[in-house]
Amino acid sequence: MTINPAVARAAPLLLLAVSCAAPPAPAPAPPPPDPVEQCASALLYWAPQDLGEAPDQGFDDYQQRGLSTQQYTELRALVAEAAALGPDRPADFLPARARALCAALGPEPTRGYP
Whether residue 113 is predicted with pLDDT greater than 60 in this model: the reply is no
- Predicted TM-score of the model (pTM): 0.67
Alpha carbon distance 40, 17 (integer Å): 53
Among 103, 76, 104, 78, residue whose Cα is nearest residue 89: 78
Once rounded to an integer, what is the mean pLDDT over residues 57-83? 90
pLDDT band (50, 70, 90) for residue 107: low
Whether residue 40 is predicted with pLDDT greater than 80 in this model: the reply is yes
Whether residue 17 is predicted with pLDDT greater than 90 in this model: the reply is no
Q: Residue 89's pLDDT is what? A: 94
Residues 16 and 51 sit within 8 Å (Cβ to Cβ)? no
Whether residue 55 is predicted with pLDDT greater than 80 in this model: the reply is no
Once rounded to an integer, what is the mean pLDDT over residues 35-48? 94
CB-based contacts of 110, cutoff 8 Å, min separation 6:
none
